[in-house]
Amino acid sequence: MLKDIFINPFVDMVEAPDFLLQVLWEGLVSGVLYALIALGFVLIFRSSRIFNFAQGIMVVFAALTLVGLHSFGVPAWISVLLTLGVMFVLAVGIERVVLRPLVGQPDIILFMATIGITLFLIGGGEIIFGGENKQMITEELGIPTGDTVLEPWGGLLILQHLDITVVVVACALVAALLAFLNYTQMGRAIRALGDDHQAALSVGISLQTVWVLVWFIAGIIALVTGIAWGARAGVSFALEVIAYKALPVLMLGGLESIAGAIIGGLMIGLMEKLFEIYWGQPLLGGNTETWFAFVLALIVLLFRPQGLFGERIIERV
Amino acid sequence: MLYRTAGQFKTSYRADQALFPVRQDAFLLGVILVLAWVVFPLVATEFAFQTLLIPVLIYSLAALGLNILTGYAGQLSLGTAAFMGVGAYACYKLITLMPWMNPIIAILLSGVFSAGVGVAFGIPSLRIKGFYLAIATLAAQFFLVWLFEKWSWLYNDNASGAIQVPNLEMFGVYIAGPQASSTIQYYVVLFIVCLLTWMCINLTRGTLGRTWKATRDMDIAAELIGINLMKSKLTAFAISSYIVGVSGALFVFMWRGAAEPNLFDIPLSFRILFIAIIGGLGSIMGNYLGAILIVGLPVVLNLLPNALGIPIDSATVEHLNIMIVGSLIIFFLIVEPHGLAQLWRLIREKLILWPFPH
Chain B residue numbers with beta carbons less than 8 Å from the beta carbon of A111 are 131, 134
Report CA A87 to chain centroid distance, whole Å.
Answer: 16
pLDDT value of residue B46: 80
- Average pLDDT of chain A is 82
A202 and A188 Cβ atoms separated by less than 8 Å = no
pLDDT above 70 (res A280): yes
Q: How confident is the model at residue B212 (pLDDT cuts 50, 70, 90)?
A: very high
**B138 CB near a chain A CB, below 8 Å?**
yes
Instruction: Taking residues A151-179, report their average pLDDT.
Output: 81
pLDDT value of residue B118: 92
pLDDT value of residue B113: 93
Q: How confident is the model at residue A245 (pLDDT cuts 50, 70, 90)?
A: confident
Instruction: Taking residues B329-334, report their average pLDDT.
Output: 86
Whole-complex ipTM: 0.82
pLDDT value of residue B213: 92
pLDDT above 90 (res A77): no
What is the least distance, in Å, from the CA of A165 to any CA of chain B? 31
> What DSSP state is assigned to residue A14?
H
pLDDT above 80 (res B115): yes
pLDDT above 80 (res A36): yes
pLDDT value of residue A89: 93
pLDDT value of residue A43: 84
Partner-chain contact B129 A248, CB within 8 Å = no
pLDDT above 80 (res A185): yes
Q: How confident is the model at residue A282 (pLDDT cuts 50, 70, 90)?
A: confident
What sign has the CA pseudo-torsion A298, A299, A303, A309?
negative
| B72 against B127, higher pLDDT | B72
pLDDT value of residue A313: 66
pLDDT above 80 (res A144): no
User: Picking from A80-94, A124-138, B53-67, which range would have the lowest pLDDT averaged per residue?
Assistant: A124-138
What is the least distance, in Å, from the CA of B129 to any CA of chain A? 8
Please report, for chain A, the start and end positions of each structural domain, with discontinuous segments joined by +.
Answer: 2-303
The amino acid sitting at B79 is G
CB neighbour list of residue B331: distance below 8 Å, 6 or more residues apart: none
Set out the domains of chain B in order of their start, with CATH numbers. Answer: 45-353 (1.10.3470)
pLDDT, tens digit, 9 for 90 and up, residues B284-304: 888 999 999 888 888 888 777
Q: Would you tell me how many other CB atoms lie within 10 Å of the CB of residue B203?
A: 17
State whether residue A23 is helix, strand or coil.
helix
State whether residue B268 is helix, strand or coil.
helix
* Spatial separation of the C-alpha atoms in residues A260 and A251, rounded to whole Å: 9
Report CA B306 to chain centroid distance, whole Å.
Answer: 31
Of B70, B319, B333, the CB nearest to A113: B333
Partner-chain contact A117 B224, CB within 8 Å = no
Q: How confident is the model at residue B232 (pLDDT cuts 50, 70, 90)?
A: very high
What is the least distance, in Å, from the CA of A277 to any CA of chain B? 17
Instruction: Taking residues B38-60, report their average pLDDT.
Output: 85
**B135 CB near a chain A CB, below 8 Å?**
yes
pLDDT above 70 (res A290): yes
State whether residue A197 is helix, strand or coil.
helix
Q: Would you tell me how many other CB atoms lie within 10 Å of the CB of residue A262?
A: 25
Q: Would you tell me how many other CB atoms lie within 10 Å of the CB of residue A227?
A: 26
Instruction: Taking residues A182-206, report their average pLDDT.
Output: 85
pLDDT value of residue B60: 93
Partner-chain contact A317 B324, CB within 8 Å = no
Q: What is the DSSP string of B178-191?
A: TT--HHHHHHHHHH
Instruction: Taking residues A145-159, report their average pLDDT.
Output: 73
Q: State what percent of residues in chain A have pLDDT above 70.
A: 95
A296 and A248 Cβ atoms separated by less than 8 Å = yes
pLDDT, tens digit, 9 for 90 and up, residues A112-135: 888 889 888 888 888 888 777 777
The number of residues in chain A equals: 317
Instruction: Taking residues B138-163, report their average pLDDT.
Output: 83
Closest B-chain CA to A252: B132
CATH code of the region A2-303: 1.10.3470
